[in-house]
A = this chain, B = another copy of it.
Amino acid sequence: MGRRGRCPEESSLLESARLLDVDLVSICGGAGACRRCRIQIVSGEVSLPTSVDQDTFSKVELNQGYRLACTAFPKSDIRVLVPPESLSTPQRMQVEGLDLRVDPDPQARGLDVQLTPPSLENPEPDDRNLWGALERAHGIAPGTIDLTVQQVLSSRLRTLNWKASVVLRESEIIALDAPATRWIGLAVDIGTTKIAVYLVDMKSGRIAASSGLMNPQISYGEDVVSRIYIAGESAENAEKLQALLVDALNSSVAALCAEIGSDPLHIADAVVVGNTAIHHLFLRLPVQQLGLVPYVPAVRSAVDIKARDIGLKTAPGGYVHMLPNVAGYVGADHVAMLLATEIDEREGVTLALDIGTNTEICLNCHGKMKSVSCASGPAFEGAHIQFGMRAAKGAIEHVRLSGERLEIQTIGGDAPVGICGSGLLDGIAQMLQNGVIDASGRMQDHPLVRKRNDRREFVLAERPGKDDITISQKDVRELQAAKTAIRLGIQALLEDAGIVEADIDRVIIAGAFGTFIDVQSAIAIGMLPPLPLERFQQVGNAAGTGARLALISRDKRRTALAIAARDGYIELACIPDFNSKFAAASSMTW
């Protein structure tokens, strides 16, 4: 993370990290009990492993320098690596995916040029003049110029005194501005519930600014099926749904640009991903057929359109690239996730999940890739949960229950104001392990369980003068439905490939929510298969990362096409014995 400082004497690495504003997860407050503050000593000397370290880590890990920060003390200058999963949510969101492991080679690149002013002896037309300068300085052959650039060409060249920076995309000039303009790229992952927006420096490929916002289409239905229905009702509805998205994006992008002293006019390229329904609604493509057997997309191929054709405000000549879809319910966001996790290149058996309102799962079984889509609902995003909220300050993100002893950790250590997805999963897993709910998900008597309006609820935090924060029986059912859908999807893929859970070599968990969950909790409630923890890898918003990769790398765009073409698709509703399998998967102890 690049932080550097002096550790006070007698301070643990957990305490020292806090002094450097590195916000490690710690539920027990440094007592060596919660085992969440895992770090790796990369160089230098540190105190010997404690017995808790020896309980927590394998021998190999201990040799690699893994320790709990709360019980480790430096003995020399040391370098410490902080795994993302040991960071609190807000910090993790800041740092995730900074390193994309590719050299930027974007489709749209900025180039500085110097022209020769025309004269009566040499009355070179402005377009030829510009191409001549590009050929001299960069060896580029003449191509085309977007109409909007043609429309400002003469006046801008003269105002800029015949020096300029242009954006070239393939053989088309799509933008023109002052020399040394810092051209930026826009990568967007539109989820059913949430949208992640990234501004990327096109030269370095680094994130210049990012933000998350709610998908405003939510007011037209929380799941894509209701939005498909509403958009199909009338052209006005479809237009409204599209305008909502584009308007929200335009506002968010304008604010982010202001943050970094840029302007949407300097957005040279954009990549947008989303599931197939979102993809179609964003482009105003027909969606009715997505709601009818055989659920085919209007468009599967990657799409390149002028941003202006859908009202997205970028450089006026700029394009939006949409990654390809796979099927009606396996969309471009899934392809982006597969691209970012490089699942197509992995050997053995890899399972990759992008957990969200729709959860897409891909199994790469010795080179054969198939995907499935599960309607897991918005519980993980905080919707439909009584005290649900997004992962912001004051959200309960981790819960530990031991008999009657309850410990909670909130984001930022603030007074609790609600529960985010990972907190809900933790809480319900702890309730299950402590007998507060049974295998069917039914809440039992317990000192922390009380009744309100004749319904049981588990008290997470008492707040004098305000409503106590609780997990209700209904909240449990919401999560149960979600985990059932996901586990069923995994089973369908395994069955199709003719393998069993133990054959899975690694499980990649993507999605904002997936990054923050405690895998042990997810295994405990039967959402994920009970595999050794080291087989799980949490990779953050991999769909967003995939969008950023496609933004800055032409090679990655090509790879995305290959992935979409290779990935098979299983229709979950078509699997044999669906109902009985569904019943089995809904058990909390399955």
Contacts and interface: CB of A to CB of B under 8 A. Distances in A.
A414 interface: no
A285 B153 contact: yes
Contact of A284 (B122, B151, B305): B151
A574 interface: yes
Interface stretch (A262-270, A287-295, A491-499): A287-295
A155 interface: yes
A128 interface: yes
Contact of A147 (B142, B283, B569): B283
Contact of A571 (B120, B147, B150, B283): B120
Contacts of A305: 147
A135 interface: no
Interface string A278-314: 0000011110110001111111110111000110000
Interface string A7-19: 0000000000000
A430 interface: no
A300 B127 contact: yes
A296 B152 contact: no
Interface in A535-590: 569, 571, 574
Contact of A293 (B120, B300, B569): B120
A165 to B, nearest CB: 19
Interface in A133-167: 142, 144-145, 147, 150-155, 158
Contact of A126 (B147, B154, B289): B289
Contact of A127 (B150, B154, B298, B304): B298
B153 A296 contact: no
A209 B108 CA distance: 43
A436 interface: no
Contacts of A120: 293-294, 571, 574
B285 A119 contact: no
Contacts of A297: 125-127
Nearest to A308: B309
A298 B150 contact: yes
Contact of A123 (B122, B288, B296, B304): B296
A299 B123 contact: no
A123 B289 contact: no
Contact of A144 (B129, B288, B296, B304): B304
B574 A127 contact: no
Contact of A285 (B144, B154, B283, B571): B154
Contacts of A129: 296
**How many copies altogether?**
2
A310 B289 CA distance: 33
B153 A301 contact: no
A294 B118 contact: yes
A127 B279 CA distance: 14
Nearest to A232: B155
A347 interface: no
A416 B142 CA distance: 55
Contacts of A288: 154-155
A325 interface: yes
Contact of A300 (B119, B125, B151, B310): B125
A100 B147 CA distance: 31
Contacts of A289: 126, 154, 158
A153 B123 contact: no
Contacts of A296: 118, 123-126, 129, 154
B119 A325 contact: no
A125 B574 contact: no
Nearest to A238: B151
A427 interface: no
B153 A299 contact: yes
A327 interface: yes
A216 interface: no
B118 A150 contact: no
A377 interface: no
Interface in A313-329: 325, 327-328
Given A158-B289, A288-B155, A574-B120, A150 B300 contact: no
A296 to B, nearest CB: 5
A298 B147 contact: no
B125 A309 contact: no
Given A158-B289, A309-B147, A301 B152 contact: no
Contacts of A303: 144, 147, 150
Nearest to A299: B127
B286 A154 contact: yes
Given A142-B301, A298-B150, A123 B158 contact: no
Interface string A64-76: 0000000000000
B294 A125 contact: no
A120 B309 CA distance: 33
Given A144-B301, A154-B289, 14 more contacts: A123-B327, A123-B328, A124-B296, A125-B298, A125-B299, A125-B325, A126-B289, A126-B297, A127-B299, A128-B301, A144-B304, A150-B298, A153-B286, A153-B298
Top 4 closest pairs, chain A to chain B, by CB: A125-B300, A154-B286, A123-B294, A154-B298
9 contacts: A123-B571, A125-B299, A125-B300, A126-B297, A127-B299, A127-B301, A142-B301, A147-B309, A155-B286
